[in-house]
Structure 1
Amino acid sequence: MARRRSSCITSLAFNQDQGCFTCCLTSGLRVYNIQPLVEKCHYSKEELGEVSLCEMIYRTNWLLVVKARRPCSLMLLDDQQRAFKAEVVFKSPIRALRARRDKVAVVLTSSIQVLALPSFQRVALLRTPSTVRPLCALTTNPDSPQLLAAPAHRKGSLQLLDITRAVIGSQSSSIPAVVGIHQTDLVCVTLSPNGSMVATASERGTIIRILDTSSKLVIHELRRGSDYADVYCLRFCPSNELICCVSDKGTLHVWGGREGNTYPHLFAAPATAAAGAGPGRTPRSMCAFIDERIAAVICEDGTFHKFTFSLEGSWHRSNYEYFLQVGDDDEFLQ
């Protein structure tokens, strides 16, 4: 029996509290709990077909789904009833999704539309360049300002839009603030849960910059490495005191234990099964914090990695599994 390569996985995404993740497949959809690693739900190809994108709304029964055969349609799936409850169709394919409990940001070819949940009424619109990666980030803390971050039209710049005062059915009443951060195009953007900071990485991938969203000033610079890298994921922990990063180098970096105006680098750990296997062979991956001392990485080769660490920089890999083998996985073996 041999494992197939990662071609069956189309995308992976953590939920907002970083305690679950969705796995979109050419043969359906799966949702996993992280601590412990167990399969929460399983949809076959006969039920959903090939799924290209999925966002889980915290730990609720709502799943936002985009099917490969219907790339312009966003569907709201009620997992409890295993039925679709709403659908909205756009004029261009959906390239990415980011959700919070009451809203979802839908990244299209040249714009981001923010919709209210569960009605799917549009509450904000942000124009974006069509030539860059489909990136956006939303604040998830319900008691914090509702910020949307996305690439601006000027190379290496970021735009921040406050959607707190958005007007139902029309464009947001606020104007986005545009800030130059990098010299090359952005490849990764994430907001801290409370919206006080936004972290970005560019095509070079050597430096991660953290911007204060109030002052619009860069307050931290984190060095990932000296070699150019394709940064796949950046993530703050819920307390904003830690930040992690994974890239095509196959390594998880964690910075934390903030000292004054710096985030000390805690450790860099091999975080994929293909780490060190050579250029172009490292699978895309996503990182998250299970808590203040545990980080997790999920990869498109079907592997799950859990790291336990200390603020002094010591770490060990406390778990390593093929998550596609959790549950009924005969279809992934040959």
Structure 2
Amino acid sequence: MAAAAAADANPIRCASFNQDNSCFVIGTKDGFRIFDSNTGRLLYQRDIGAFVIVEMLFSSSLLAIVGAGEQASLSPRRLCLFNTETGAALRELNFLTSILAVRVNRKRLIVVLQGKTFIYDINSLVILDTIDTVPNLKGLCAFSPCLDGCFLALPASTTKGSVLVYNAIDLHSHCEIDAHRSPLTAMVFSSNGMYIATASEQGTIIRVHSISEATKSYGFRRGTYTSTVYSLSFGPSIGLPDILLATSSSGSVHAFLLGSAIDQRSKRSSTFLGSIIPDSVSDALDAAHHVLHNAVSPGVKSYAVIRKVDRADDSSKSESTSESTSFRATVSIITYNGYFLEYFLNINHRNESSWTLDREFNLLTAIQ
């Protein structure tokens, strides 16, 4: 009864944005829906039963879908590649245990089970590699959509926050990163695959590692109390992303400025005190942190992305701060109780921020 009540309270079973955040899709007890992120328009709706995984391939007609098992035809052990143009299945893949996560890009299809992860060529569906993993009960993974940095990240331990980074194009292990003392609960790659952000079950510290160096870390304190981090998202960038976003069970949305954190760390390391403070302590000193409190009701799962970052000329800044940049980030949030929220996060050259709600609508009552 409690499980049923929880399902009714949170009617969205799954939610994901496509690789460039131009569209997003939700799965419910009735089916799945695709929305245009820019307009909020409902693009496609299919009511054929409950789904727990729905993943898009950019803005194509291809979906990777997995049923919730509430109907015999929608087994959680069956992956269906579905064509929204024809309304028919292109191909199905069956597994011995439940599928916990699926990721796609233009070259690879990733299927995560509890103890194994499979890598397929997405065009031929030939299996290229099988990775034996530690028990991954939540299907935790991260996958870069970029082909030049096409990395897959999986938990490497059940007792600490270690990350296995795997090259999904060349099919070999790239590195292992010891990111946290507690087991992982969230991780994400930057769009170019150059950086990975991670959070542990403690949920107090979020860290960013350079994939090429494997050990270089920037840390951000989300808060002092334990909280479940539901999602992490980098802002779009060619190089080092400007912003990292996090949502958690506290109901707040946290935005961290990576460039400011690097500048602060460089300044600290040049001082005597900064040179002797270890990173585990100095994580708490990074102040490039902007919070939107009570964006979502506490305990309601949410998923947020930074859809775009617009740099702006700040006419109020003085010549002495001419090297500073003001910008506005568009932050889109899906709540699992059925809403879409979009905020503008404005940050000026003095690191002052403001959050403005631009639009909000109910995902379950939208009409195509």
Q: TM over 0.5, yes or no?
A: yes
Match of 2:64 in 1: 64
Q: Which amino acid aligns with 1:92?
A: T
TM-score by length of 1: 0.87
CA distance in 2 between partners of 1:155 and 1:55 (Å): 29
Q: Residues 288 and 296 of structure 1 are in contact (CA less than 8 Å); yes or no, is this contact kept in structure 2?
A: yes
Aligned residues: 308
Match of 2:344 in 1: 308
Alignment of 1:91 onto 2:131: no
TM-score by length of 2: 0.79
Match of 1:168 in 2: none
Alignment of 1:55 onto 2:60: no
Match of 2:127 in 1: 122
SS in 2 for 1:324: coil
Q: CA RMSD in A?
A: 1.9
Q: Residues 258 and 264 of structure 1 are in contact (CA less than 8 Å); yes or no, is this contact kept in structure 2?
A: no
Match of 1:201 in 2: 199
CA distance in 2 between partners of 1:226 and 1:266 (Å): 14
CA distance in 1 between partners of 2:229 and 2:110 (Å): 21
Match of 1:102 in 2: 107
Q: Which has the higher helix share?
A: 2
Alignment of 1:274 onto 2:274: no
Q: Residues 257 and 264 of structure 1 are in contact (CA less than 8 Å); yes or no, is this contact kept in structure 2?
A: no
Shift, 1:7, TM fit: 4.0
Unaligned runs of 5+ in 1: 166-171, 276-281, 329-334
Q: Which amino acid aligns with 1:151?
A: P
Match of 2:274 in 1: none
Q: Residues 11 and 338 of structure 2 are in contact (CA less than 8 Å); yes or no, is this contact kept in structure 1?
A: no
CA distance in 1 between partners of 2:258 and 2:330 (Å): 14
Shift, 1:51, TM fit: 1.3
Distance 1:148 1:241, change over 3 A: same
Shift, 1:205, TM fit: 0.3
Alignment of 1:33 onto 2:36: yes
CA distance in 1 between partners of 2:56 and 2:136 (Å): 27
CA distance in 2 between partners of 1:254 and 1:211 (Å): 17
Q: Residues 236 and 307 of structure 2 are in contact (CA less than 8 Å); yes or no, is this contact kept in structure 1?
A: no
Match of 1:229 in 2: 227
Q: Residues 27 and 50 of structure 1 are in contact (CA less than 8 Å); yes or no, is this contact kept in structure 2?
A: yes
Match of 1:24 in 2: 27
SS in 2 for 1:259: helix
Q: Which structure is richer in relative contact order (CA contacts within 8 A, separation 6 or more)? A: 1
CA distance in 2 between partners of 1:294 and 1:65 (Å): 28
SS in 2 for 1:261: helix
Q: Residues 132 and 186 of structure 1 are in contact (CA less than 8 Å); yes or no, is this contact kept in structure 2?
A: no
Larger Rg: 2
Shift, 1:245, TM fit: 0.4
Match of 1:185 in 2: 183
SS in 1 for 2:38: coil
